[in-house]
Chain A
Amino acid sequence: ILNVEQSPQSLHVQEGDSTNFTCSFPSSNFYALHWYRWETAKSPEALFVMTLNGDEKKKGRISATLNTKEGYSYLYIKGSQPEDSATYLCALNTGTASKLTFGTGTRLQVTL
């Protein structure tokens, strides 16, 4: 079983702070790295899918980078807002169907 690790486990920031999380994964057999946002009482929703080393993706105030050689991805949130409060999941695809191996997530809480 693959080991996908996320850190920190939880994070509490104030509105306006910028923050970042890490997803670490084994770099062998890499096909894609997914990021999902999971708000309380809702379904997880996809943020980004990255496939190439050096990929950078951006969606509003949220961006992500990928380093497949060293096996990590960073998710950045600029100027956090209360609506960013959620659990952020990363998931690794190693090419077997579209199966994903998920990390345990980083729970972000943004307060006023």
Chain B
Amino acid sequence: DGGITQSPKYLFRKEGQNVTLSCEQNLNHDAMYWYRQDPGQGLRLIYYSQIVNDFQKGDIAEGYSVSREKKESFPLTVTSAQKNPTAFYLCASTRGNLAKNIQYFGAGTRLSVL
């Protein structure tokens, strides 16, 4: 089945540690996105990529890094510089870059700090 796979489902980070969240899609979509959800807030955009080897910062990029070496993969690294990493992280993708293109989402990763 085509879709977006995020792993792991749950992740724990120790102080000062970098952790990487995986996002893989087999939909042949060009654009991919990372969102963060905190209680009482909407999904906030961390980073997005419209094409392989290119990505842009979203609204809350500080303390995060990404790469887009393959079309189907868009991993997110939560660095030690992110002081409040506890949140639910969602990855999404779209077929192109038109405003009307719907986003397809993964099931999310919940990150907690030990």
Contact = CB atoms under 8 A, between A and B. Distances in A.
A46 B102 contact: yes
Which interface class (under 10, 10 to 19, 20 to 34, 35 or more) fits B?
A: 20 to 34
A100 B4 CA distance: 18
A97 B31 contact: yes
Interface in A39-64: 42-46, 49, 51
B99 A42 contact: no
A43 B103 CA distance: 11
A97 B31 CA distance: 9
Contacts, number: 65
Interface size range on A against B: 20 to 34
Give the interface SS of chain B, mostly helix, strand, loop or mixed. Answer: loop
Interface string B65-109: 000000000000000000000000010001011111111111110
Interface of A: 1, 4, 31-32, 34, 36, 42-46, 49, 51, 89, 91, 93, 95, 97-105
Interface of B: 4, 31, 33, 35, 40-45, 48, 50, 56, 58-59, 90, 94, 96-108
